[in-house]
Structure 1
Amino acid sequence: MEKKVNALMIISFIFLISFILGPPPQPAMAATPPKKNTTSVPVAVNVGIVLDMQLPGPQVWLSCISMALSDFYSAHDYYKTRIVLNVRDSKQDVVVAASAALDLLKNVKVDAIIGPVSSMQAHFIIDLGAKARVPIISFSATSPSLSSIRSPYFIRSTVNDSSQVQVLSSIVSTFGWREVVLIYVDNEFGEGIIPFLMDALDALNIRVPYRSVIRPMAREDEISAELYKLMTMQTRVFIVHMLPDLASKLFIKAKHLGMMSDEYAWIATDAIMNALNTIDHDVLDLMQGVIGVRPYIPKSQELTSFMNRWKKNYRQNNPSALNAQLSLFGLWAYDSATALAIAVEKSGNFSTNGFWDQDFLRNSSSTDLESLGISKNGAMLLKALLETSFTGITGYFKLDGGQLQSPAYQIVNVIANGAKEVAFWTSEKGIEKDLNSTANKISNTDKAISKSDLTIIWPGDKASPPKGWVIPTSGKKLRVGVPVKDGFFEFVNVERNSDNSSTVTGYSIDIFKAVMSSLPYAVPYEFIPWENSDGKIVGNYNELIYQVYLGVFDAIAGDTTIVANRSQYVDFTMPYTESGVSMIVPIRQNQQKNAWVFLKPLTWDLWLTTFFFFVIIGFLIWLLEHRINDEFRGPPLHQIGMVFWFSFSTMVFAQKEKVVSNSARFVLIIWFWVVVILIQSYTASLTSMLTVQQLQPTVTNVNELLKNKAYSTTLWMNYTSFSQLRAEMVALQLLLMRSPI
């Protein structure tokens, strides 16, 4: 018995030692990664969808959102959150859209809303989102007016319409058009871009003479009436900003009225070009030659794969929708859903009870808006959305200031049943032919191009761009007043014809016509002589110019003088002739042009003084040199001849004798300067005497002219009396006396 107890104690001790030391070592094996925890149930995050489900476009966009979530969670099946879509139909109505959003916030308590479709619907829904602190994500509301709401909970996952105004203005400026007419839909979507577009055009000195506003539900006769009005104007360049359905009606009527000919230029915004593939082919045939802009989406394998998969899946789920097309908004919807799924996962733990109810809201008499709670997850989700960035099927996705960054733009030309790429536009370089792009960066190494490098087929199947204007069939003409004069017909001359019409000619009229013909657009005008029944001028020039201020004339063409008092009423052009006071004087014939004319440049006193100094300089040099210089020594007659020879030879610098004394050299330096000045002055004076005629006025001042009454009658033909002329002449004299000249 004792042996059994001892054996049990030994066995127990061995097991105890084995437990402490651990199991024996095992052979080395390859490490296997831990399995992802797929047993936990993901947190359901409710997200609302507000779209116009009665339209084919939003149905396509909803399918893109569903595919985005399916693709995302298939690739990230270990994520702890799952977005649950709650779809509401806004039925193309602002009130219904707001009611649908209110239902999602109050009853479903969604953490985010994707939608709505239009900018008009977005306004009130954005206010609801701000009140409930729920992010409102719209991939199709592009109106710039939504940005002014300044709601931090509004996310625009599409491009703002205002980002394309620089592209449109650059196109107009490139082709040299100076006027353009804006055609847009009469709602918040159409009006939102107009202030930005007007500023961009004005910065390039491009005028907008008319803005054509068309109702969203305009009838065909209303569109025709508006187009007829445009046909009577001179401008032939139109920028169209409206949704594709209304644009289709517009281009159908424009084709019917002959406004798709070679004298018209049509430019479409991205609202039309983004959905160009959804427009009926018959309408596209009528839009041949239209150019437009749209955001540039770089091509990628992911984009091609998605479009192929979407087409296959959509046709399987919607067999009746054979002609459904995927627009750019569908691509943005896909990336928006992906961004939201990433942000939801990054936000961390979501509260199952997602809204706080306020105490005062428990009152049964409160309205639905008053009883709207505040989201617990909204602020956290908003922050995650703004920090989300990734490479999607449309390129680099990053929200800057709550909206998608403006990409490069693509300029396209409607040809056949599609759009042909013409050029690109970037904010750094403007319009350029080629664009090297990657997912995150657009290269700007290529040089900008001119309009001659753009290959465009314009309306009427023309390769050359339209000039942009024609002479209007009707409209107000520019009323140009002209003075009727009794003299100086070279400036303005009015002649009466046999049919009682007037023919206006003259230098001033020719300048006016040259200026008007150089304008890049037509300005009809007519010359109206300012005369009475006798064919005489009605008043003086001051009264004529004052008629512009009164609205009788639009402009004055004539020899009008720019003076201070007239500038208070009208604006003058730059002067095209020099003005001033001058007198006509006789030419004095110079009868003294004979063989001795070379003595005339200098007076006799100057001649004698010059001769005297030549002798003095010669004597002074001899005095300083003859004691130390052998060349200045010799017989007396030789030395006297040396004095005259040396001094006169310096006049042409022909002296050969060396000068040894420094004192003599100093004297010669000064003398050489005197000789140079004397020779140059003599040469200039002699040249003037031989070539220029001398003018000698017979009247030296105004007083002498008035005293002798030696004035021409044409000087005071515009004055009522001689006293008025005298007063003007006295004033002119005082002005000349005060002049610094």
Structure 2
Amino acid sequence: MRLIACLSIYFSICSICFAMLSSSTEPVKSVNVGVILDTADAWIGKLCWSCIQMAHSDFYATHSYYNTRLILNVTDSKSELIAAASAAVDLIKKVAVQAIIGPQHSREANLIIQVCNKSRVPVLSFSATSPSLTSPRNPYFYRIAHNECAQAQAISALVQGFEWKEVVLIYIQDIYAEEVILCITRALQEANIHVSYHAAIPHSPDDNHVVQLLKKLTTLTTRVFIVHMSPMLGSRLFAFAREIGMMSEGYVWILTTEMTNQLASLNSSIIDTMQGVLGVGSYFPKTKEFQDFEIRWKLKFQQENPTTIRRELNIFCLWAYDAVTALAMAVERAGIKEFGFQKASTNSSNTTDFETLGVSLSGPKLGESLSKTRFQGLSGDFSLLDGEVNSSIFQIINVIGDGKKVVGFWTPENGLRRNLDSTKRDTNTSTYSTSKTNLALIIWPGDSSSAPEGLDLLANEKKLRIGVPVKPKNGFGELVNVHYDPDTDRINVSGYIVDVFKFVMDALPYHVPYEFFPFNPGDYDNFSTGSFYDDLIQEVYHGKFDAAVGDITIRAQRSQYVDFTLPFTTNEATFIVPTKQIKNKKEAWIFLKPLTWELWVTSFCFFVFIGFIVWVLEHGLNKETRISPLHHVDTGLWFSISTLGKESMATWQVEQLRPAVTDINQLIQRGDVVGYQYSSYSIQFLKQMGFDETKLRAYETPEECDRLLTMGSRNGGIAAAFDETPYIKVLQSKYCSKYTTIGPTYQSQGFGFAFRRNSPFVPDVSRAILNLTERNQDIVNTFVNKWFKNESHCSQSTTVDASYSLELDSFRGLFLLSGIVSSSALIIYTVTFLYKHRQDFKQFYANDSLWKRIYVMLTITRQDDNRIQVGELVSRSTTTTTSNLHDINVIDAS
């Protein structure tokens, strides 16, 4: 192995020497490069210029054998757009630069890019981080820095880790900052995190403007603030925030890379106002090469800037260093023979400097060489993808004491991690995580080690305004009831639904104060159309209420305006009808109840009729039928009574409650009046089923529904009511087995609590509802027993199958078929009998009476019976004699 290593080093040295010897024969080509900095920002300007100079000297100190050498031409943009564009035009026209490094700001870079696109001069920016700059329309722009949108997922993961549901965004009011804010907003929304407020600040606001904005933010319940602005404006913001008291316990401040990457440029007094702040910053490895460079840079910078106290490198300095290195390597490897410009053709003397720009002959080839450049830079592995460096790792910092502490990292593959070493080892097995346990201990504002809840619902004593529906006459008050207490001069709200709401709100992991407000429009004309609850939803949508609690059915149309929690009831809509009930189960004739009297009489008549026919058909053939007439009557009656008795016993288990109506088609065909509850959407269902709107009647209370059902459709009431399960439970708990339901049933989404769109409480309240319905059924039963007291005492079934009823109509077809078959058999027998004895009937005289003719027929029938009996005796005698002779022969033979 040592031999191989030695040989490798030997050949490397030989290659370098050969390159140096060969290059000595060719003159070194000078390549002009422009550098546009902003001296108005003294710290960043000086810092980046020192790094650029060191990169230039370091590179050619180790690559002295290169045939090309960059000549740096620095100019000042003076933090002005026109000045930056003019500087770029002058560098191209007068100096013939082949590339430009800079500028520092995105707004300046946007103009310079347009100039360089026209002249095909590559632009390498180490600090213009706006996401809109890189696009197919800017093929000559190369960002040697992070795209600011890349941090959006890291910020979202940090907010998710601490389970904050709302944030406020504070940013500079310009198009470049708004692009980043849009990326952050989208990432938060994907994680169901609501941006409750956008606070935009002008570039140069006065102090009063900043103070008033911060005071306005204190009135919000949200206590998580994400700040995206320059260090200059950000330092003013935090200074005023501390004065107002917004840097105390309970507040959360998160900085974007715009400010985090430049924390080292802030003096100690500003850092002191930012204690406990979190930040997402660009990551770079602290390699040995970086440590060596940092020592050398500090010595050089101190010599050149002896009055500057803070001397800390930041990521922009490293990107600037790597930009020079990448450009120097690309120029050499491009192998360009001649650097020059093709002059623009123009015939007008009134052309501007922009129009007279020439086109670089080396631009396309140099750009291609840049895209292929790879090396290990101070900022990490250098490579360009779509004109940008890789931006996959961010560090999470915490401002503590006089500096910052790294508390974790974020990567696209692993999410939040304590350190990168474990992430690399676990690349194949780890999963994406947003757990706060993956971060080191964080010191929050107010010197607190406990993570803030992110909400302060007591801000300015603000409570959630909960709208509660007030229905006419407080109908169905067991569900929700609003009444005025004159003794306390307060509005009291109660009911099953209110108890459920109070329980789930108390079960939240944080305290949420709220207050009930009755929703009483005063005019209840819209109740009959079902728009009352829709109006309540609109009040929530427009901000009058923060939420609505009541018997509010979850519907798709309503969900366009509010966010519903999970349903806390499972609803079905069906019909409820009166029942016919046996009054005394101990009465003597209870066994007759399974069949109606009409069915009993008809059945008895048919049994006698069919019995007679059977006797007529079989009396001449079946000896069992040749008995005395009295015995015939006795046997027939016993057969009829025993058969009916068996049927009675078979139906003994038939439900003792009978619905007055068994099918909704009966209601429609008979034109019965059907009831529905005021304000319910049931009226739409009933119309769709085919009910005439003139046959629909609304009721307000269970008592009114009971009265209308008792009256009946023919007496000004209703034959049935269509409602949802909770309302039916109220009715049945009051009147027990007086009413029952009949199918079919129609599914609905159930009742839910309605909150304002994007409310942070909806997920937590839904989880509390799920926990209540799945794991705390005893509590649910307690609420049910409290508000539906009589329901458990109702022993009768509340639902009856319509197919059980045993009435005469139910057997009409059977009786008809039996009558036709029996009558046909009797007619056929009679015709056959008359034809057989036609000679015997010739002796009848025309004046013989009907009774005499019947007597003759019975005589003939009796004679037939005697002949059959004699024939049977003769046959039996002959059979016996033959048998005896057979036995004698057998004896003789023996």
User: Where on the TM-score scale, by shorter chain, does this alignment land: which range?
Assistant: 0.7 to 0.9
Aligned amino acid, residue 517 of structure 2: F
- Change beyond 3 A, Cα 1:566–1:445: closer
What is the aligned counterpart of 2:569 among 565, 576, 592?
576
In 2, Cα distance between equivalents of 1:114 and 1:442: 39
Aligned residue in 1 for 2:254: 267
After superposition, what is the alpha-carbon deviation per residue over 1:694-713, rounded to whole angstroms, capped at 9, x for unaligned?
95215443789999x9x973
In 2, Cα distance between equivalents of 1:222 and 1:309: 43
Matched, 1:511 2:500: yes
Normalised TM-score (structure 2): 0.61
After superposition, what is the alpha-carbon deviation per residue over 1:404-444, rounded to whole angstroms, capped at 9, x for unaligned?
11131111111111111211111111111221289x99956
Matches within 5 A, 1:133-282: 133-148=120-135, 150-282=137-269
Aligned residue in 1 for 2:381: 396
Q: Work out the percentage of aligned pairs sharing the same amino acid.
A: 39
Aligned residue in 1 for 2:36: 50
- Cα displacement (A) at 1:728: 6.4
For the residue of structure 1 that corresponds to 2:194, the secondary structure is coil
Q: Choose 203-212 or 512-521, whichever is displaced more.
A: 512-521
Q: Are 2:464 and 2:515, in contact at CA under 8 Å, matched by a contact in 1? A: yes
For the residue of structure 2 that corresponds to 1:365, the secondary structure is coil
In 2, Cα distance between equivalents of 1:724 and 1:531: 34
In 1, Cα distance between equivalents of 2:395 and 2:715: 69
Aligned amino acid, residue 547 of structure 1: D
In 2, Cα distance between equivalents of 1:464 and 1:699: 64
Q: Are 2:480 and 2:494, in contact at CA under 8 Å, matched by a contact in 1? A: yes
- Cα displacement (A) at 1:511: 2.8
Higher share of residues assigned helix = 2
Matched, 1:483 2:470: yes
What is the aligned counterpart of 2:292 among 302, 305, 308?
305
Q: Give structure 2 stretches of 5+ with no counterpart.
A: 1-13, 588-648, 676-700, 724-740, 747-800, 802-894
Matched, 1:373 2:333: no
For the residue of structure 1 that corresponds to 2:199, the secondary structure is strand
Aligned residue in 1 for 2:108: 121
- Change beyond 3 A, Cα 1:565–1:697: farther
Matches within 5 A, 1:450-599: 450-454=435-439, 455-471=441-457, 472-473=459-460, 478=465, 480-484=467-471, 485-498=473-486, 500-514=489-503, 518=508, 526-530=516-520, 532=522, 539=527, 542-548=530-536, 551=539, 556-560=548-552, 574=567, 576-579=569-572, 580-581=574-575
What is the aligned counterpart of 1:714 among 688, 704, 716?
704
After superposition, what is the alpha-carbon deviation per residue over 1:2-28, rounded to whole angstroms, capped at 9, x for unaligned?
xxxxxxxxxxxxxxxxxxxxxxxxxxx
Matches within 5 A, 1:596-635: none
- Cα displacement (A) at 1:317: 2.6
Aligned residue in 2 for 1:293: 280
Q: Give structure 1 stretches of 5+ with no counterpart.
A: 1-30, 593-684
Aligned amino acid, residue 576 of structure 1: T
Aligned residue in 1 for 2:851: none
In 2, Cα distance between equivalents of 1:441 and 1:104: 49
- Change beyond 3 A, Cα 1:529–1:193: closer
After superposition, what is the alpha-carbon deviation per residue over 1:169-216, rounded to whole angstroms, capped at 9, x for unaligned?
001111111111111111233212112111111111111111111112
In 2, Cα distance between equivalents of 1:129 and 1:205: 42
- Cα displacement (A) at 1:391: 0.4
In 2, Cα distance between equivalents of 1:359 and 1:577: 79
What is the aligned counterpart of 1:423 among 408, 421, 429?
408
- Change beyond 3 A, Cα 1:359–1:532: closer
- Change beyond 3 A, Cα 1:375–1:92: same
Aligned amino acid, residue 31 of structure 2: V
Aligned residue in 2 for 1:96: 83
In 2, Cα distance between equivalents of 1:348 and 1:417: 50
After superposition, what is the alpha-carbon deviation per residue over 1:690-737, rounded to whole angstroms, capped at 9, x for unaligned?
xxx995215443789999x9x973316899x9879978646859x957
For the residue of structure 2 that corresponds to 1:137, the secondary structure is strand
Aligned amino acid, residue 145 of structure 1: S
Q: Are 2:290 and 2:378, in contact at CA under 8 Å, matched by a contact in 1? A: yes
- Change beyond 3 A, Cα 1:441–1:96: farther
In 2, Cα distance between equivalents of 1:98 and 1:328: 25
Q: Are 1:548 and 1:570, in contact at CA under 8 Å, matched by a contact in 2? A: no
- Cα displacement (A) at 1:395: 1.3
- Cα displacement (A) at 1:488: 3.4
For the residue of structure 2 that corresponds to 1:715, the secondary structure is helix
- Change beyond 3 A, Cα 1:736–1:366: same
Aligned amino acid, residue 520 of structure 2: W
Q: Choose 426-435 or 332-341, whichever is displaced more.
A: 426-435
Aligned residue in 1 for 2:343: 357
Aligned amino acid, residue 493 of structure 1: N
In 2, Cα distance between equivalents of 1:426 and 1:185: 27
- Change beyond 3 A, Cα 1:228–1:148: farther
After superposition, what is the alpha-carbon deviation per residue over 1:43-90, rounded to whole angstroms, capped at 9, x for unaligned?
110000110123121111011111111011111111111100111101
In 1, Cα distance between equivalents of 2:312 and 2:364: 36
Q: Are 2:538 and 2:561, in contact at CA under 8 Å, matched by a contact in 1? A: no
In 2, Cα distance between equivalents of 1:415 and 1:237: 19
Equivalent residues, number: 605
- Change beyond 3 A, Cα 1:281–1:725: farther
In 2, Cα distance between equivalents of 1:83 and 1:562: 70
- Cα displacement (A) at 1:253: 0.8
Aligned amino acid, residue 456 of structure 1: I
Q: Are 2:409 and 2:420, in contact at CA under 8 Å, matched by a contact in 1? A: yes
Aligned residue in 2 for 1:16: none
In 2, Cα distance between equivalents of 1:118 and 1:482: 56
Q: Are 2:134 and 2:387, in contact at CA under 8 Å, matched by a contact in 1? A: no
Q: Are 2:576 and 2:742, in contact at CA under 8 Å, matched by a contact in 1? A: no
Matches within 5 A, 1:590-739: 696-697=656-657, 699-701=659-661, 713-715=703-705, 729=719
- Change beyond 3 A, Cα 1:550–1:307: closer
- Cα displacement (A) at 1:557: 3.1
- Change beyond 3 A, Cα 1:301–1:557: closer
For the residue of structure 1 that corresponds to 2:395, the secondary structure is strand
Rg (Cα) greater in structure: 2
Aligned amino acid, residue 434 of structure 1: N
In 2, Cα distance between equivalents of 1:570 and 1:258: 34
In 1, Cα distance between equivalents of 2:558 and 2:223: 38
After superposition, what is the alpha-carbon deviation per residue over 1:452-471, rounded to whole angstroms, capped at 9, x for unaligned?
34311111111111001111
- Change beyond 3 A, Cα 1:140–1:700: same
Aligned residue in 2 for 1:664: none
After superposition, what is the alpha-carbon deviation per residue over 1:467-495, rounded to whole angstroms, capped at 9, x for unaligned?
01111327796461412434533212222
In 1, Cα distance between equivalents of 2:557 and 2:395: 54
- Change beyond 3 A, Cα 1:208–1:486: closer
Q: Are 1:144 and 1:162, in contact at CA under 8 Å, matched by a contact in 2? A: yes
Q: Are 2:576 and 2:721, in contact at CA under 8 Å, matched by a contact in 1? A: no
- Change beyond 3 A, Cα 1:571–1:109: closer
Q: Are 1:469 and 1:522, in contact at CA under 8 Å, matched by a contact in 2? A: no
- Change beyond 3 A, Cα 1:436–1:519: closer
- Change beyond 3 A, Cα 1:102–1:526: farther
- Cα displacement (A) at 1:104: 0.6
Aligned residue in 1 for 2:595: none
Q: Choose 722-731 or 255-264, whichever is displaced more.
A: 722-731
- The alignment yields a C-alpha RMSD, in angstroms, of 4.0
